[in-house]
Amino acid sequence: MTLLWGFLWGVAGMTVIAVGAILGVWWERKVAARIQMRYGPQQIGPFGSLQMIADVPKLLFKEDIIPDSADKPIFKYAPLFVFGPIAVSMVVIPFSAGWAPLNTSVGVLFFLAVPSIEVIAILLSAWASHNTLSTLGGIRATAQMISYEVPRSLAVLAIVLLAGSLRPLDVVDAWRWWWLPLTFIAFLIYFIASIAEMNRGPFDIPEAESELVAGYFADYSGMRWASFMMAEYGGMISASLFGAALFLGAGWPFTGALGVVALIVKTIALMTIVMWVKWTLPRLRQDHLMSFCWKVLTPLALVQLVIVGVVLPWL
Amino acid sequence: MTLTILAFALSGLLMAGGAAVVALTRDLMRMVIGLGTFLLGVAGMFLFYGQAFLATAQVFVYVGGVLVLFVFAVMVVHRSSGGRPVLESRHDIGAAVIALGVSGMVILSLQDSVGGWLPASASGGAAIATELLGGHLVVFELLGALLLAALVAVLVIVGAGERR
């Protein structure tokens, strides 16, 4: 029965991401336009909100081009495994106090582990395209995603250490407002590393439109291309939800239905900051990106762990 | 209960299918996919035995880490013909003998240990942590030091190659 529920929640996760991606694209266009002193979409529907209704059928009916030299089976199905793990990882997020779709004792580890399957899928789709730009993009994406997993996991470890549990619901229950200043460095590291994991600006080196065309998904079109975009927005939604739940106290200071609303508001705020960062900062260079991860974020995450370790016996 | 059996069968199928692909194909990338399928099947088996922590760690470390290294290696390998990288020669009988030998060795050596120091199947991550960071702390740390030494050695070798 648990398995069936898990499957149903997986489907629900995919639906949330698909709808979230549609709304997210509209919101991003508005945010980007505001930052660049433009209006953004405004012709279709109120505030241009129905623009995506026009865009989705376009993607659905666009010709699905598969290059002759591509490794066809891998090329066709790899996008599914880019998008799927992100949707599955959402099932452990505690949406309100005492309730998560899948309440497991290793939820935090699950959230960090399952999206790592996406890395393989990205590499496979890059390889299957059989072109230089895609291969370069795939290698860059993998190096970036694997490297940033380290500070990200270490940052989450600080919260796990404080809560004494890997169960997200236990973390939410144990959360106190003073964790916010105590784990602020960890939150910043988690947030920055999550943006890098999503391959979004200023960490969009694997896609780098101006040099790699679109990197690992340069050869994709139509719905297969949309799967990559949905994975990007899905990553943004799930990372923001997880960050809001673990680092910002989920529904705090409210409980019940208001708590869920508070969690959603915090998530939207985090997503907006992710967009703000993308449309403000220029793209990093590959070597700067790696140095930043290994020489700044990882040592800082270790310092945060030591701080929590020192404070822990006094709590 | 039926669903549990179904999940068990699916895990077994993933393992058998993945292993068969690795053993039978010559296409390197398909081999890696076969290996990934096998590893996911193993994670499913861990879940079936109630070891959620091990299952998640399996996905994190092996599927998300080790397997990526494999794909990475295949991707950067020189493709002289411009086609897909394939295994040019394989020694099926020799490999099968070695595989059987290693399996026998592992089974025989673990036979006495199971029920001994290994945590019982019902216990979770806490029991594993107590074992690794308790009684077997020295061995655990030595293994860590060995891996670190291997890593430093690789850096030295690569560095020497670059200088040359």
Q: Cα–Cα distances in Å, from B76 out to A131, A139, B164? A: 13, 9, 21
Q: Which of A297-301, B114-118, B138-142 has the highest mean pLDDT?
A: A297-301
Of B6, B36, B56, the CB nearest to A109: B56
pLDDT at A201 over 80: no
Least confident among A9-18, A258-267, B70-79, B128-137: B70-79
Among the listed residues A87, A41, A71, the one whose alpha carbon sits nearest the alpha carbon of residue A231: A87
pLDDT at A54 over 70: yes
* B36-44, Cβ contacts within 8 angstroms, sequence gap of 24 or more: B36/A120, B36/B63, B36/B67, B38/B14, B39/B63, B39/B67, B40/B14, B41/B11, B41/B12, B41/B13, B41/B14, B41/B15, B41/B16, B41/B17, B42/B11, B42/B15, B44/B7, B44/B8, B44/B10, B44/B11, B44/B14
Task: Report the pLDDT value the prediction gives residue B130, as an integer from 0 to 100.
Answer: 79
pTM for this prediction: 0.84
**Distance from the A196 Cα atom to the nearest Cα atom in chain B, whole angstroms:** 16
Q: How many CB atoms lie within 10 A of CB A235?
A: 25
pLDDT at A9 over 70: yes
Of A105, A123, A126, the CB nearest to B68: A123
Of A71, A104, A123, the CB nearest to B84: A71
Task: Report the pLDDT value the prediction gives residue A1, as an integer from 0 to 100.
Answer: 60
d(CA B110, CA B103): 11
3-state class of A111 per DSSP?
A: helix
Per the CB < 8 Å rule, is A109 touching B53? yes
Q: Does residue B39 contact residue B58 with C-beta atoms inside 8 Å?
A: yes
Of A71, A139, A146, the CB nearest to B29: A71
Q: Between chain A and chain B, how many beta carbons pairs sit less than 8 Å apart?
A: 74
Task: Report the pLDDT value the prediction gives residue A2, as an integer from 0 to 100.
Answer: 63
| DSSP secondary structure of B22-47 | HHH--BHHHHHHHHHHHHHHHHHHHH
d(CA B24, CA B95): 12
Any A CB within 8 A of B57 CB: yes
B119 vs B106: which has the higher pLDDT: B106
d(CA B47, CA B41): 10
Q: Which of B3-17, B59-73, B112-126 has the highest mean pLDDT?
A: B3-17
Residues on A contacting B at a C-beta cutoff of 8 Å = 1, 3-4, 71, 74, 104-106, 109-110, 112-114, 116-117, 119-120, 123-124, 126-127, 135, 138-139, 142, 146, 149, 166
Among the listed residues A80, A81, A111, the one whose alpha carbon sits nearest the alpha carbon of residue A93: A111
Confidence label for B164 from pLDDT (cuts 50, 70 and 90): low
Task: Report the pLDDT value the prediction gives residue B158, as an integer from 0 to 100.
Answer: 77
d(CA A28, CA A10): 25
Q: How many CB atoms lie within 10 A of CB B129?
A: 12
Per the CB < 8 Å rule, is B59 touching A138? no
The torsion defined by the Cα of A75, A81, A82 and A85, in degrees rounded to 10, comes to: 180
Confidence label for A151 from pLDDT (cuts 50, 70 and 90): very high
Which tens digit of pLDDT belongs to each residue from B71-114?
877 777 655 455 667 777 777 788 889 989 998 988 888 777 66
Which of A92, A127, A154 should we substitute to test contact with B (largest number of B Cβ atoms within 10 Å)? A127
B43 vs A12: which has the higher pLDDT: B43
Task: Report the pLDDT value the prediction gives residue A313, as an integer from 0 to 100.
Answer: 84
Of A1, A114, A123, the CB nearest to B59: A114
Confidence label for A73 from pLDDT (cuts 50, 70 and 90): confident
**Distance from the B22 Cα atom to the nearest Cα atom in chain A, whole angstroms:** 16
Task: Determine whether domain B1-88 maps to CATH 3.30.365.10.
Answer: no
- Residues near B10 by Cβ (< 8 Å), separated by ≥ 6? B44
Q: Which residue of B has its CA nearest to A147?
A: B65
**Distance from the B92 Cα atom to the nearest Cα atom in chain A, whole angstroms:** 26
Per the CB < 8 Å rule, is B3 touching A110? no
**Per-residue pLDDT averaged across A244-256, rounded?**
85
- Residues near B71 by Cβ (< 8 Å), separated by ≥ 6? A120, A123, A124, A127, A142, B29, B32
B136 vs B120: which has the higher pLDDT: B136
Task: Report the pLDDT value the prediction gives residue A301, as an integer from 0 to 100.
Answer: 93
Which tens digit of pLDDT belongs to each residue from A100-109?
787 888 889 8
Of A104, A112, A116, the CB nearest to B52: A104
> Token pair for residue A58?
């376009």
- Domain segments of chain B as ranges: 1-88, 91-123, 134-164
d(CA B156, CA A74): 37
Collect all residues of chain B within an 8 Å Cβ-Cβ radius of residue A1: 3
Q: What angle do CA A78, A153, A146 make, to 5 degrees?
A: 40
d(CA A274, CA A103): 28
Q: How many CB atoms lie within 10 A of CB A8?
A: 12
Q: What percent of chain B has pLDDT over 70?
A: 83
Task: Report the pLDDT value the prediction gives residue B77, as an integer from 0 to 100.
Answer: 67
Q: Does residue A168 contact residue A245 with C-beta atoms inside 8 Å?
A: yes
> Token pair for residue A37?
């002193």
Mean pLDDT of chain A: 85
d(CA B16, CA B37): 9
d(CA A206, CA A131): 14
A97 vs A289: which has the higher pLDDT: A289
Q: Cα–Cα distances in Å, from A128 out to A77, A170, A197, B46? A: 10, 42, 22, 31
The DSSP output letter for A70 is S
Per the CB < 8 Å rule, is B4 touching A3? yes
A18 vs A195: which has the higher pLDDT: A195
d(CA B152, CA A4): 47
Any A CB within 8 A of B13 CB: no
Per the CB < 8 Å rule, is B72 touching A142? yes
**Per-residue pLDDT averaged across A75-83, rounded?**
86
ipTM summary value: 0.78
**Per-residue pLDDT averaged across A71-88, rounded?**
85
Per the CB < 8 Å rule, is B67 touching A124? no
Which of B2, B21, B59 should we substitute to test contact with A (largest number of A Cβ atoms within 10 Å)? B59
